[in-house]
Structure 1
Amino acid sequence: MEQSTPWEFSDDRGRLAVAGDRPLRIVTYIQAGATLWDHGIRPVGLFGSQHDGAAPDPAKGGELPLAEIPYLGSGGALHPDTLLEARPDLVVAVTYDGEQVYGLEPKTALELEAHVPVATVAVGPGRSLAEVRERFAALAGSLGQGEPLVRARELDAAEDTLRQATGGAVRPRVLALSPAGPERVHLARPSSWPDLRALTEHGVGLLQPAAGAGVNWSTVGWADTAAMDPDIVLMDVRTNAARPEQLRSDAHWRAIEARSRLLPWNPEAPCSRRAHTRFFTLVADTVREAAGDA
């Protein structure tokens, strides 16, 4: 009798996730689920992080049919039994530090791994955007799925378009941020975010916050932000970030909004060729428009 080969995947915490057969029922952190969806894999359940609430964040959900996939909870309120009730063969999440399963309390992750394999993909500062994308592609491939070949050609074309848009004499000033409210804002440090580093590598003029506390963000007031004089603002669209209409009581924000082009930015976007093609194309179009108006 022919024996099946056990499924294995070496994750980015250096751990080997093993199952008797290729996993079919997969519960994921929502960003990971959105990425796997772009590879043709439908999760059976989703969970969020400590920054999320009782409902899934549409920004993190990408193209996922969120109304059709159970959302199991988020952060400290998420119990391992709730995840196990979805009867997963595998749990997929991300890690920022190469150690912790993001979105799960350490105790929850430990209890979960006693019952079901857990695989993580590193999305933090130590990885390039291409490396993150290829690690998800490798995981999806081990699960028998992948993005169509045409997606690679589309991404190559989008990267070429972005390099052409940033290669002119005028280089618009681009600032990535996450509004905390009308009094303060978190400015992204481009070196800490794989997608922002990729933009820089393709010639986008990303502004650097002043040195100081905070590895990923520099938290300042809107006056300091307006003084950076951005032409384009990449604005966090996750539900935990403040919306533009919540900021208009501040004159400095109103000045930014009046002179800058605002683009949606999702620091936890799906890590697929499809998603990155859309992102690079949007930035390229906006850089070209801003340069033309200069």
Structure 2
Amino acid sequence: MSGPVLARRGFLSATAGLAAALTLAACGGDGGTTAAPSGSAAPSGSAAAQGWSFTDDRDKKLDLPKVPARVVAQVGSAAALWDFGVRPVGVFGPHKLKDGSRDPQVGNVDITQVQGLGNVWDEFNVEQYIALQPDLLVSNMYVKGTLWYVPEKSKDTIEQVAPTVGIMLTGKSATEVISRYEELAKSLGADMAGVPEAKARMEAATQELAQFKDLKVLMVSGGADAFWIVNPPEYPDIKHLTAAGLNVVTPEKVDEGGFFQTLSWENADEYEADVILYDTRTQALKPEEMMKKPTFAKLPAVKAGQLYPWSAETPFSYQGYATFLEELVANLKKAKPLG
């Protein structure tokens, strides 16, 4: 793969996983962890007998004779479904850290209770997947038709095992994506425990963002050889922030694909900002590593200590976003304009 493709892939798997999506071929994936809602079992009896139907964001309508009970999901999808009460039987994508604890991307999923099929890009244990006897696979999409973290090399085999559902992220607002997962979870029989309370928390935190309209915010991710400036319209979480009144910097020259602008570390001072929000995913550089880059360390926001975490793949649930937004509001209350 050539330089631009590798750069995109590096950012996406390091930032929002978008670059890698761009290098994938078409869609794929199935999956199968299933869904026993929290506190209850998967739908049975008359509900299951009525069959199951769902149209995903590929405009693909699935009609099954019974409600899927064994769902496998990419970690972002698993985290969202879990908060709505769906309990997958397997996950793939970053879910376990080196010390054995949960990767933040897997959210509240109890990784001791699910089968891990792969923890890094291009890793998916097809044999274990088949052994799980999945009824359904669920994954996000950054490119329509391409299921996130389903390897191109094995997607055809994976798709033969069980039906797949793809939920689109790019160009959508967080509320739109959350609503889609809510719809999917309800169709799978989830009980929605705690959802109304979490939704109220998310709405309250969202309303608080308008008070920070005078702060210029830059959202970034750091790699070993590149500094990425994210492009707000392409990200559900950032679309939500800007719609609520936050002033997020839009890069002037966006790379192919539209997700970000790639800069060298020498040009990390390309954009002025009062606050910098940095990607906290395990693949991205930590603040202390970025501080070793002289140009970055000299940025006014960095020198002022107004460098705060950005949970780049917050679970698309009301619980996930309530926590993300509440923490962001608390951090922004500590910041001030630097101009």
Q: Which TM bucket (shorter chain)? A: 0.7 to 0.9
Aligned equivalents of 1:143 and 1:265: distance in 2? 31
The 1:227–1:186 alpha-carbon spacing in structure 2 relative to 1, beyond 3 Å, is closer
Question: How far does residue 188 in structure 1 lie from its aligned partner after superposition?
Answer: 0.4
Q: Which amino acid counterpart does residue 285 of structure 1 have in structure 2?
A: A
- Please give the secondary structure, in 2, of the residue aligned with 1:114: helix
- Please give the secondary structure, in 1, of the residue aligned with 2:240: helix
Structure 2 gaps of 5+ residues are 1-44
Equivalent in 306, 314, 322 of residue 277 of structure 1: 322
Q: Which amino acid counterpart does residue 77 of structure 2 have in structure 1?
A: A
Q: Which amino acid counterpart does residue 20 of structure 1 have in structure 2?
A: P
Aligned equivalents of 2:133 and 2:309: distance in 1? 35
Who is 1:178 aligned against? 221
- Please give the secondary structure, in 2, of the residue aligned with 1:234: strand
- What are the superposed Cα offsets for residues 22-80 of structure 1, whole Å, 9 maximum, x if unpaired? 1221110001001111111121111017xx99x89712111222244221114434243
Q: Does structure 1 retain, via aligned residues, the 8 Å contact 2:141–2:147?
A: yes
Question: How far does residue 92 in structure 1 lie from its aligned partner after superposition?
Answer: 0.8
- Please give the secondary structure, in 2, of the residue aligned with 1:290: coil
Q: Which amino acid counterpart does residue 57 of structure 2 have in structure 1?
A: D
Aligned equivalents of 2:242 and 2:254: distance in 1? 21
Equivalent in 132, 147, 150 of residue 177 of structure 2: 132
Who is 2:107 aligned against? 62
Aligned equivalents of 2:68 and 2:227: distance in 1? 42
- Please give the secondary structure, in 2, of the residue aligned with 1:14: coil
Counterpart check, 1:152 vs 2:199: yes
Counterpart check, 1:232 vs 2:275: yes
Aligned equivalents of 2:265 and 2:250: distance in 1? 15
Within-5 A mapping of 1:28-67: 28-48=73-93, 58-67=103-112
Who is 2:334 aligned against? 289
Q: Does structure 2 retain, via aligned residues, the 8 Å contact 1:57–1:238?
A: no
Q: Does structure 2 retain, via aligned residues, the 8 Å contact 1:95–1:101?
A: yes
Q: Does structure 1 retain, via aligned residues, the 8 Å contact 2:223–2:284?
A: yes
Q: Which amino acid counterpart does residue 235 of structure 1 have in structure 2?
A: Y
- Please give the secondary structure, in 2, of the residue aligned with 1:245: helix
Q: Which amino acid counterpart does residue 261 of structure 1 have in structure 2?
A: Q
- Please give the secondary structure, in 2, of the residue aligned with 1:151: helix
Q: Which amino acid counterpart does residue 286 of structure 2 have in structure 1?
A: R
Question: How far does residue 293 in structure 1 lie from its aligned partner after superposition?
Answer: 8.2
Q: Which amino acid counterpart does residue 264 of structure 2 have in structure 1?
A: G
Q: Does structure 1 retain, via aligned residues, the 8 Å contact 2:102–2:111?
A: no
The 1:31–1:179 alpha-carbon spacing in structure 2 relative to 1, beyond 3 Å, is same
Counterpart check, 1:105 vs 2:151: yes
Q: Which amino acid counterpart does residue 205 of structure 2 have in structure 1?
A: A
Who is 1:188 aligned against? 230
Question: How far does residue 244 in structure 1 lie from its aligned partner after superposition?
Answer: 2.0
Of all paired residues, the percent bearing the same amino acid is: 25
Aligned equivalents of 1:293 and 1:174: distance in 2? 11
Q: Which amino acid counterpart does residue 217 of structure 1 have in structure 2?
A: F
The 1:56–1:24 alpha-carbon spacing in structure 2 relative to 1, beyond 3 Å, is farther
Equivalent in 127, 130, 133 of residue 87 of structure 1: 133
Question: How far does residue 110 in structure 1 lie from its aligned partner after superposition?
Answer: 2.7
Aligned equivalents of 2:116 and 2:167: distance in 1? 21
TM-score computed with the length of structure 1 as normaliser: 0.87
Q: Which amino acid counterpart does residue 176 of structure 2 have in structure 1?
A: E
Equivalent in 199, 220, 227 of residue 263 of structure 2: 220
Structure 1 gaps of 5+ residues are none
The 1:204–1:27 alpha-carbon spacing in structure 2 relative to 1, beyond 3 Å, is same
- Please give the secondary structure, in 2, of the residue aligned with 1:226: coil
Q: Does structure 2 retain, via aligned residues, the 8 Å contact 1:230–1:260?
A: no
* Deviating more after overlay: 113-122 vs 73-82: 73-82
TM-score computed with the length of structure 2 as normaliser: 0.77
Q: Which amino acid counterpart does residue 120 of structure 1 have in structure 2?
A: G
Q: Which amino acid counterpart does residue 243 of structure 2 have in structure 1?
A: E
CA RMSD, 1 decimal:
2.5
- Please give the secondary structure, in 1, of the residue aligned with 2:80: helix
Q: Does structure 1 retain, via aligned residues, the 8 Å contact 2:49–2:66?
A: yes
